[in-house]
Structures are given as C-alpha cells and as structure tokens.
A and B are shown apart, each in its own frame.
Chain A
Amino acid sequence: MQSSKGFSVKTVVAIGIGAALFVVLARFGSIPTGIPNTNLQTNYAILALFALLYGPWAGLLIGLIGHTVADLISFGPWFSWIIASGVFGLLAGLFSRGIRIHDGEFGGKEILRFNIAQIIANAAAWFIVAPVLDILIYAEPANKVFTQGLAAGGMNMVTVAILGTLIAIAYSKTRTKRGSLTREA
C-alpha cells in the first residue's frame, strides 16, 4: 500500500470510521455503574483496540476527533479531556506496537502487553494530562480534578481490560495465523 506521504489510505479510513464508532458508543454505549456520574465508557475499549490495530497516530486522531465530535453533540467541547483522549489513544498504540494481531497472534503474552500498554496510557491520560490541563485551562480546584481523573482512569482501565481484551481476542481468532499453511511434500 503506497502513498505519497503520511498515512496509508487504510489508516485514514480507520481514523474516520473509528472516530464515528467512538462517537456512537460515547452516546449509546456507556453502562452506568450505580455510582453517580461514573459510567463504564465502552468507547475507550474501542479506542484502545483501534490504536492496537492501526497504530499510535490513528489512536491519537480517533481520540481527538471522536471526543471533540462527541462533546459537540452532547454538551460542548471540554478541551482538557479531549486532549487526554488523544493522549490515551497515542500511548495505547505506542506501547502495544509490535503485537501482530493482524496475523492472529494474541495469546497470553500479547494480552499482558496490551493491558500493560492500556494501563500506562490510561494512567498518563487521566491521572496526569486531564487534571493538569483542567487546572491550567479552567483553574479548577486540584482535589476535584484529581479525584475525577482517578475515577475516570480507574473505570477506563477496567473497561479496556475486560471489553478491549475480549474483543481483541475474538478479532485475532478471525485472522489467519502466519505459517498456518504447511507445504505438502
């Protein structure tokens, strides 16, 4: 797949449609946990998965575009968290680089790597980036934004660990493994 410069055609399409999926799930796919204002955001499982499938830049852009559009059609843009979503996608893709899920390889080792990647990415995005930007942009109280960040990051870690891993395993099963053909003598 050649292209003049930058992203391949497939990455461009994956960013566009992946962001659309992110938006739809942001609106319809969240599961309330019973604690007020704390939902299991299934769209972050999808973001982690797309970052794994299409790389860190796709993750960054799906996070940025998806979160911006989702915010615009619900209550207006809250920039600090939009940026945090982008950072999450970028880091999740960066640390899960080299997992060859397209070749059907997603066993114990890869599952562990994927989850370490998503936990680091979630921690960086929600424990650091989102609250720090909340303070810088909106001058919100530190204890409030760090509590919110901890809650959101924790929930997202759980969501991605369960749903993200399950879907990634299922996807890898649909792919043909490398070297699954044997030559007949």
Chain B
Amino acid sequence: MAPKLLSYSDVGSPVHRLNGVTKLIAFLLFSIAGMVSYDTRCLLVMLVISLSVFYVSKVPFKQYSFVLYLILIFSVLNQLAIFLFSPEQGVQIYGTRHELLHIAGRYSLTSEQLFYQFNVLLKFAVVVPPALLFLLATEPSEFASSLNRVGVSYKVAYAISLTMRYIPDVQQEYVNISTAAQARGIDLSKKEKLGRRVKNMAAILLPLVLATLERIEKVSAALELRGFGRKRKRTWYRSRTLTKSDTLAIAGAVLISAAVLVITFWDGSRFYNPFA
C-alpha cells in the first residue's frame, strides 16, 4: 500500500560508475549556478547538459515518473500563482512592455511576463535532473563518505546516511500504526471533520514519536558500544579513490558553472534581456 520512494539501483552506466564525490560536487555546482543565474542562454545550455547526462545514466523512466508528474503539477500551480499575484513582474524586470493580449482588469499577457515565467520554470528544471541523478545513481553507503570527503563533518554525514537508511523503516512503522488505528475506528480520511482529523492524527503521531524516540535510544546505544564518535576522523567502508573520469567530470562541472557565472554577470545584471 505504501508507494515506493525513490531508490538506488545499479544499471552500470558511466554515471553510476562515477564516484559519489563527483556526483555530489556536480550537483552542488549546478544548483548554485542555477540559483544565481537568470541568464536564459546559460540555463538552456545547462538544461541540455543535465538532460543528456540523465540520458546517459539510463535510469529507467519508471523509477522517477511519479516525480515528474509532481514536478509538473507543482510548476503549473506556481506559474499560475506568479501570474495571478504579479502579472507585470516581467515588465518590471525587463523594463519594456510588449502587450500580446488583454485578459481582464489588470491582467494582460505580455511577452516580458511570458519570458520571465519561462525563466522561472527553467531555473527549477535545471536543478531537478542532477538532484535526481545524485539520489538515483549513488550507492547509499557512498553518500556519507562523499559528503565527508567534501568537508562535511563525518557526524553530520553519518546522520544523513542514517536518514536514508531509516526512511523505509519509519514509513513502515507509520503505515502499521495508522492501519492499526484505523482498524480501531480512528478515521483519517476526508469524511471526518477537520478538528476531529487533527485529533485523530495526534493519536497516530504519539505512538509513532514514542517509537521513534525508542529507536533513537537503541541505535545510539549500539553506535556508542562500537565506539562511534570517539575519534576526530573515521574511515568508510565504501570510499573509492577518484579515477580519471571523475577528475574530468569534476573539471567539466567547475568549468561550466564558472562560465555560467561569468556570462551571466558580464553585463552587470543577472537577467538576460532580449527586449533591450
């Protein structure tokens, strides 16, 4: 009954063979460049690159199809909201006004607004493939060691790998508790009134939280017994040295994001203005 969350599977593509560190660095660099830049040309190039890497990775479509639908819904709603709240945002940013169609009242379609909203969409779309790739094509036990490698304290890195490790368990616990509660007549569906539903939710959350706290006690006792956290450093079961293709990929990512930043700010503004 519980939908499967995204999970790693090894299909042996060149992207899978890359080191976790490489994928993490590429993901971070692309995210930063994508966040900073509003230059349409750069964003388009980045999107093409990240989509082609995605294609090379051969991650089966089934694995992330529902994510794509959610992204689509989220983007459509967000785009509509932007237009409803501020139909002239694009005009403000680009400083010109080319009206295409008057809708009603203060709402009219301008090419500046369309272009601006296209950019917002692009900015979001650029980050999604590298993020998905990092999640789908990195062996979970390599997560922690790669984070540690790029300078995250090993305790925080370990916490993140604990998160990945325990999501399925906590999810199972949630499903167990909520079905047990529903069998006893605690209704969580739409049929119940809001106030009642909140109260019923508390009836599920309470045992879930107490069970989680107990789990924390157990796991931390186990870690403590094994001497976790005694030393300043630790080694990792899964950590590989960087190969030639890793160095190449990292260099490529660094070059691309540096180029993106330079091109974006060349004329002193983070927006690319085709109307000027």
A residues sitting closer than 8 Å to B (CB atoms) are 1, 3-10, 12-21, 23-25, 27-29, 31-34, 37, 40, 42, 45-46, 49, 53, 61, 65-66, 69, 72-79, 137-144, 147-148, 162-163, 166-167, 170-171, 174
Contact = CB atoms under 8 A, between A and B. Distances in A.
Contacts of B67: 73-76
Contacts of B232: 4-5
Contacts of B131: 72, 76-77
Contact of A143 (B85, B153, B167, B178): B85
Given A73-B67, A166-B202, A167-B209, A12 B128 contact: no
B159 A15 contact: yes
B162 A74 contact: no
9 contacts: A6-B155, A7-B156, A12-B223, A13-B159, A17-B215, A28-B171, A42-B205, A74-B70, A77-B31
Contact of A42 (B81, B120, B201, B220): B201
B242 interface: no
Instruction: Please classify how large the interface on chain B is, using the bins under 10, 10 to 19, 20 to 34, 35 or more.
Output: 35 or more
Nearest to A19: B163
B6 interface: yes
B262 interface: no
B74 interface: yes
A162 B202 CA distance: 9
Given A12-B158, A76-B128, A77-B127, A170 B166 contact: no
A84 B43 CA distance: 25
Given A7-B156, A144-B85, 17 more contacts: A6-B155, A9-B223, A17-B212, A17-B216, A24-B171, A28-B174, A32-B190, A42-B201, A42-B205, A46-B205, A49-B209, A72-B131, A79-B31, A144-B82, A166-B206, A171-B210, A174-B210
A17 B170 contact: yes
B124 A76 contact: yes
Nearest to B89: A141
A17 B131 CA distance: 22
A37 B76 CA distance: 13
Contact of B159 (A16, A23, A40, A144): A16
Nearest to A46: B209
A9 B167 contact: no
A167 B206 contact: yes
A16 B158 contact: yes
Contacts of A61: 156, 159
Contacts of A16: 158-163, 165-166
B164 to A, nearest CB: 7
A148 B223 CA distance: 42
Interface in B34-49: 35, 38
B163 A66 contact: yes
A65 B205 contact: no
A40 B198 contact: yes
B163 A69 contact: yes
Nearest to B226: A9
A21 B212 contact: yes
B71 interface: yes
B201 A163 contact: yes
Nearest to A58: B159
5 tightest A-B contacts by CB? Answer: A16-B162, A141-B86, A144-B85, A76-B128, A20-B166
